């Protein structure tokens, strides 16, 4: 069930900016605020390139440069057989 939220003491400059933004997106002020909140919550699920690289390294995966070395070593090892 939806819940009503209230934000108090919002600076007038912010309100003016939000109203302009809402108008540009053809939304009400409430619709614009909901859109901003939704976008913000969806951003939490995204990972930055640096975060992705850290997660891959944490799992023991290697970078493309290291991978190329592994492939060459494997390929060279098979040539002798």
Q: Is 13 left (phi over 0), alpha (psi -120 to 50) or beta?
A: alpha
Tokens 């098979």: give the residue.
Answer: 78
In this prediction the pTM is 0.54
Residue 13 neighbours by CB under 8 Å, 6+ apart: none
What pLDDT score was predicted for residue 67?
72
pLDDT in tens for each of the 81 residues of the chain? Answer: 888 989 899 999 999 999 999 999 999 999 999 999 998 888 767 778 888 888 878 877 766 677 777 778 888 887 765
Full DSSP string of 6-63: ---S--HHHHHHHHHHHHHTT--HHHHHHHHHHHHHHHTT---HHHHHHHHHHTT---
Rounded CA separation 17/38 (Å): 18
């Amino acid at each position: 069930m939806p819940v009503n939220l209230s934000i108090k003491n919002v600076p007038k400059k912010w309100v003016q900016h939000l109203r302009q933004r809402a108008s540009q997106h053809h939304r009400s002020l409430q619709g614009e605020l909901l859109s901003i909140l939704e976008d913000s919550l969806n951003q939490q699920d995204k990972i930055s390139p640096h975060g992705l690289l850290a997660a891959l390294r944490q799992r023991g995966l290697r970078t493309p440069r290291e991978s190329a070395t592994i492939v060459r070593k494997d390929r060279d090892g098979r040539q002798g057989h």
